[in-house]
Chain A
Amino acid sequence: MIRILVLALMTLTFPLSMVRGDEEEYYRLIDVSVAKAATDSRSKNWKPAPDGLALEVGGLALLDDSRLAVAIRKGEVWILDGVYDDPPDNVTYKRFATALHEPLGLLYHNGDLYTAQRSELTRLRDVDGDDVADEYLTAANGWGVTGHYHEYAYGPKLDGDGNLWITLNIGLGLKDDQLKRIVPNAALGYRQGRWRGWGMKLTPAGELVPVCAGMRSPSGLGANAAGDMFYTDQQGNWVATNSLHHMRPGAFFHHAEALASMNEPGSTIDGVEKVPSGLPLPQALEQFQQLRPPAVWFPYKKMGQSTTDIMLDQSDGKFGPFAGQLFVGEFTQAGINRVFLEKVDGEYQGACFPFRLGFASAVLRMTQGSDGSVFVGLTNRGWSSLGRASYGLQRLVWTGKTPFEIKEMRAQPDGFELTFTQPVDPESAGDVNSYRMTSYTYLYHATYGSDEIQTQTPTLMAAEVSEDRLRVRLRIEGLRPYFVHELNAAGVRDASGRPLLHPEAYYTLNRIPNDHQTATAP
């Protein structure tokens, strides 16, 4: 009771500097090219701004130390030079490719650019060396394209084994001619095009292999430092809230209609006879053997509203203290979030943290520049987002100042271990009253999104500060497997008395390590 009072008081007033908006102090935004005016992103008559290139970024790929290739949604690839200038006043634009059908990814691989368009994965080759593509070669195709707008194709991204991965959106409520292009004799009577809602990989031998299924709107893919491939999904039917998943053979994630392709040759999933709907996730996992929980849930609103791209920080510190972690784009709130992953029992799980808001439009794509800064591709057409523009390209640069943040959050048999970016003040960090925790899960069901359910408040027994003051061990009673454990460390201060830039962390505790195991970071 006293703790609640203390916490209540703690949240009442903050010095001015604690109100967010300080992110700019640590990560600075530079406009490379941003549309001059906002447009009604949902208008049927949407038009780009009258001047300049409609840089609705669908894909970003680094070509060399100065040039960046940008795929735009109207179907072109442009090569930009001078993008590292600050201010970027002399960026040059050269059109490399045209006539692509809404390309939503770009990868520079073995000297060629690869992009997923609606109907195929295309390799763009410049044979005569004039920086204009002469060959549009089909690297892979064969998935269903019924003509429904929602059937986006995303990718490719490269994993540690040289595979190129793509993900395929599910269609929504197909009708008329679209129904002529669905999987014949689909499993369980679902009406979808072939491999819709699946993740696939193109092997170095050129074979396109279906790997895992149950995706709704998998707009982001990316490999972690170990070379394993992940994707993000977006809240909607069957998807309780935004999520991050490890793509691996036979895994099924959420959206039941992806099972339409279950009986197709090459499918990695079989034997699903019935899909439960309306159960809390832990029970649904028991009843639905193929169902795999996400590695990380992003609680709705608190951690954004639409996850997008996945980017591994490979800068070795040039982008700040988070080397080796994943960054996840956020569409609706125009931001980027951060993810820490670890393996427990051989499966990935981990925590997400707020990182940076304030981009000029919806964040769809990210790629790290050779100097460690991050190029951020923006476009909000068709949906809505915060920000002053409908599209553009921005660059996020670490200012060199280290924010006071929870860097890592590891599961322990009896709680969590937090690692901070800077030494903590032992008094506040050692006080259990500096922390608040709740845990909750979601409903697995066919309807749109889910509230947080079965919310409880685990008891914080102790907070032990390590000798180097960089770590805090939280001993907690009442951990629950498969539940999100939401932490707010608002009372923790650093050595100079400053609070955390973001006190929140959300750990998806699918597995609680037992006493004999230590969780391993990948």
Chain B
Amino acid sequence: MKAETFTHLRCMVGRTWGPFIFGVVIAIASIAPAEEQPPETDDSDSIAAPMVSGFDRFARHDELSPTLAGSLLISELSCVSCHASDDQWLKPKRGPRLTGAGNRLQPTWLKQYLANPAAMKPETTMPHVLSQLPESQRGEAIDALVAFLGSQQQPFAVIKAGGALPVVHEFWKRGDADRGNKLYHTVGCVACHDPDPDYETVESKPSAIDELIEQLDPEEIADLGLASEARRVDSVPHGDLVSKYSLRSLTMMLLDPTKTRPSARMPSLRLSPLEAADIAAHLLRDQTTKQIEIQSNDAPQSTVEQGRALFVQLRCAACHDASDALAAAPAKPLLELNAAAPESCIENPAGGMPRYAFDDEQRNAIRARLNARRIENLAAADEVDFRMLQLNCYGCHRRDERGGVGRFRKAYFETIGHVDLGDEGRLPPTLGGVGRKLTPKALAAVFHPKTVPHRPFMTARMPSYSADAVDPLVRGFQEADRGDQSDAVDILPPQQEMADAGRDLVNTGCVGCHAFRGESLPGVVGIDLSGTTRRIDSKWFYEFVLNPSAVKKRTRMPTFFPDGKSNRPELLDGDVQRQISAIWAYLQYLDKEPLPEKIETVRSANYELSPMEKPIVLRTFMEQAGTHAIAVGFPQGVHFAFDAEQMRLAIGWKQRFLDARGTWFERFTPPADPLGDAQIKMPAGPLVIVDENGGKHEGENADYRFRGYRLDAAGVPTFLYDVAGWSIEDRIEATESGTLRRSVTVKRTGKVRSNTSDQKLRLLAHAAERLKPQGDVAVSDQHGLTVTLTEDLARTGSLRRSGDGDQWLIPLDSHDRNTAILEYRW
């Protein structure tokens, strides 16, 4: 689907979008209503009113009070840089830092920009400063300023690479314009900037609200209060990036915009170095000769110094940081300004006054603010609103009927993999009541550069901000939204025992749309509920779960408590408060609790090994069988693990066999744990031992050598190992009667050393504390393991007792071949 283009349809009269179509602008201007005539200045033919997103989107449609609109313009146009004021709202945005302009900006662009800022970058907030000089002096002044800016050299940051961060050498040369095009249109750039008319978005359902708007006529739209949502939202202009930047300087700007623009109006979109290079390659795709670096400055020092003096004199330094250039003396304080003066920065500027390209709406707003003098007693909600206007949070988020992704931009907000999750899945969340919803810590974490995305299915990214930039917001949200909550129902104190009921409840509903600890039902893409109790305020949670759409309009989340009643009356007496509290308790203990049953079942299907026709072998680490463990599971539901280092049958268990996920796919190789029941420790030590002196076998005889295993037609492994010139074949299999049957054959390998002739081979049929004979052919231990031998062998055996463990030993005579059969029952 091709999204509609913006520029063609921009309807604001008197605005321009490029120096190449001035003629058209003039034509439009000439038929525009009188109050929107471009201001009369000597450069009137190329002026476009400065763009301030919040002003253009809301104030021009009477959705901001004049004083609020004026405050916004005063801060965004940096008036207070010259006209001092202690009003926090009016703190100037200021322009980019120019301390590194010399290796970041192209000198030819600087030249043209200084000659007429709005011509090079229509709608720029930078005033035409040089217009205060006579035409004849401008050329020389520009050369000097460009020379000075060229001398402002600051090395680019070195990006530290690591195992978690690939940083390709000179990554700014490696950008791929196609990838950049896709990133530009998906990660969030086009929330503020123009999309490319040729970019094809993936066909997705139009936003529900847009569909509604399509069907209404303007009056109905107004009646329904949807006028704001139905409005096209203008873009923040890029200007001519191609002539402005080098690949490297644009890449580095995109990677960390606040380094040069501390105002954070352009935020960091958490790009990787290569992503930044990709987007730069896309934005600079029309450079005929790729500019990788900026040409160095070779102007004579005298010109540089002349430029430095001009930079101060023309008050550039009031808004732009540069090395060794202090701001000139301040102008008249803001409070002393006369809004109605015949000559001022806002109208008919004279002398050293900067030339802004205001239109009357803007002038009126600024005058309204100036006339209001001091504004006191602002509510926290106003504070939040103002900061959101400044940072243009409204470009993405809606709060209290204001803002949100602009109409006709929504097509660029997608889900990864194009899953249909409705607007909630692709558009940034609404922020109404967010200060109450999120815990203070979680709220602050949203802005942090290291926080991982909470909605990983969304292609758009939440930009990161420094704590300084968003501190007023974080505090303001809470103050504004956390009103009197004494009437609110809270969840009951979470108790571990409630978690079982909670697990049952989430299994009925939540698992249909949500993930738990990274696991979810097939095809389910949704917010992971782990960590919920750390992120979300419990009272908000209660209200939301009870009746989602009452808290969040148009949410897809259904209620599981229709009319405030539970549809699981059998649980916790059907008590709603206890049930929601149980869900909370389950989520609180989710790290230790089993996954919801439905998810657990699906997960088992993927990773649980369930022998059906043949045995299944898994080589892994096991606490009970060591780091050379070989686990074997049988369709009969009897399983064992063999320790191939100590040559011993380590444990047996029944029913379910093993979950292989940790062994297959986890970096940190957790030991595998038997899933089933009836885990039993098998006799200590190897089955066949060399008994040198008739004494007790120490079990640490290092002469054993594991030789591997062989699978027979039935899939049963026979373990192969050697000891003292004997080779041993050891086969263990499950029987229908729930026992393990073991057959061990010893053979001479012919490599017996002469000095071992007195070695005696013995079968260590059982070894444990306090062994007990069971009839003539069996011995059992106190844990319930009974080992049975064939009668001929059992007859020759003897129980050797000792304080720390009894042994049932059977001599194996020294024929060339000998087989013993044992059975393990428990």
Against B, the Cβ 8 Å flags (1 = close, 0 = not) of A105-141 are 0000000000001111011000000000111111001
If A13-B289, A306-B163 touch, whether A19 touches B173 (CB-CB below 8 Å) is yes
A48 touches B665 (CB 8 A): yes
Chain B residues 395-443 with CB under 8 Å of chain A are 417
Inter-subunit contact A301/B620 (CB<8 Å): no
Does A355 touch B at the CB level, under 8 Å?
Answer: no
Most chain A beta-carbon contacts within 10 A, residue among B162, B164, B630? B162
Do the beta carbons of A305 and B166 come within 8 Å of each other?
Answer: yes
Residues of A within 8 A of B606 (CB): 47
Q: A478 an interface residue at 8 Å Cβ cutoff?
A: no
- Is the pair B628, A11 in contact by a Cβ cutoff of 8 Å? no
Closest chain A residue, CB of each to CB of B670: A149
Looking at the complex, which of B49-57, B325-333, B703-711 is the stretch in contact with chain A? B703-711
Is the C-beta of B623 less than 8 angstroms from some C-beta in chain A?
yes
B314 at the interface (CB under 8 A from A): no
Cα–Cα distance between A73 and B663 once the two chains are bound (Å): 9
Count of chain A residues with a beta carbon within 8 Å of a chain B beta carbon: 67
Q: A301-B169, A333-B168, A384-B165 are in contact. Are A45 and B518 (CB under 8 A)?
A: yes
Query: What is the CB-to-nearest-CB distance from B191 to chain A, in angstroms, rounded to a whole number?
Result: 24
Min CB–CB distance B719 → chain A (angstroms): 10
Flag the segment in A85-93, A95-103, A316-324, A364-372 that touches B. Answer: A95-103
* In-complex Cβ contact of A137 among B289, B663, B708 (8 A): B708
Is there an interface contact between A46 and B627, defined as CB atoms closer than 8 Å?
Answer: no
Q: Provide the B289-304 mask, 1 if CB < 8 A to any CB of A, else 0.
A: 1111111100000000
Contact of B517 among A45, A99, A300 (CB under 8 A): A45
Assess whether B163 is in contact with A332, with CB atoms less than 8 Å apart: yes
Residues B707 and A137 in contact, CB atoms below 8 Å apart: yes
A305 to B160, CA, bound (A): 11
- Residue in B173, B664, B668 whose Cβ sees the most chain A Cβ within 10 Å: B664
Which of B617, B619, B666: most chain A Cβ within 10 A? B619
Asked if B669 is at the interface of the complex by the 8 Å CB criterion, the answer is: yes
The reply on A383 being an interface residue by CB < 8 A is yes
Per the bound structure, the CA–CA distance linking A328 and B733 in Å amounts to: 46
Q: Which residues of A contact B706 (CB under 8 A)?
A: 120, 138, 141
Q: Could you say which of B288, B294, B518, B671 has the most chain A C-beta atoms within 10 Å of its C-beta?
A: B518
**Chain B residues closer than 8 Å to A98, beta-carbon distance:** 617
User: Cβ of A384 and Cβ of B665 under 8 Å apart?
Assistant: no
Also in contact, A386 and B164, with CB within 8 A (given A13-B292, A74-B664, A141-B706): no
Q: How far is the CA of A138 from the CA of B165 in the complex (A)?
A: 38
Among A13, A15, A45, the residue within 8 A (CB) of B519 is A45
Are the C-beta atoms of A381 and B166 separated by less than 8 Å? Answer: no
A18 to B291, CA, bound (A): 11
Interface flags for A1-40 (1: CB within 8 Å of B; 0: not) read 0000000110111111011110000000000000001000
> Which residues 146-187 of A sit at the B interface, judged by CB distance below 8 A?
146-149, 177, 181
Q: Establish whether residues B669 and A383, one from each chain, have CB atoms under 8 Å apart when the complex forms.
A: no
Q: Is B618 an interface residue (CB 8 A)?
A: yes
Contact B274 A386 (CB under 8 A): yes
List, in ascending order, chain B residues with CB within 8 A of A122's CB. 708
Q: Is the CB of A15 within 8 A of B289?
A: yes
Cα distance A118–B621 in the bound complex, in angstroms:
10
Within 8 Å CB of B671, what residues of A?
147
B752 at the interface (CB under 8 A from A): no
Q: Is A357 an interface residue (CB 8 A)?
A: yes
CA A19 to CA B290, docked complex, whole Å: 8
Q: Give the residues in chain A near B623, CB-CB below 8 Å.
A: 177
Residues of A bordering B, CB below 8 Å = 8-9, 11-16, 18-21, 37, 42-48, 50, 54, 73-75, 98-102, 117-120, 122-123, 133-138, 141, 145-149, 177, 181, 300-303, 305-306, 332-334, 354, 357, 381-386
Q: Could you pull out 7 A-B pairs where Cβ atoms are within 8 angstroms?
A: A9-B295, A12-B292, A13-B290, A16-B289, A46-B665, A136-B710, A181-B627
The 10 closest A-B pairs by CB, nearest first: A45-B518, A382-B667, A74-B664, A137-B708, A99-B617, A145-B627, A138-B708, A101-B619, A149-B669, A302-B169
Task: Tell me the B residues contacting A by CB distance below 8 Å.
Answer: 161-169, 173-174, 176, 247, 274, 288-296, 417, 517-519, 522, 606, 616-621, 623, 627-628, 630, 644-645, 660, 663-669, 671, 705-711, 720
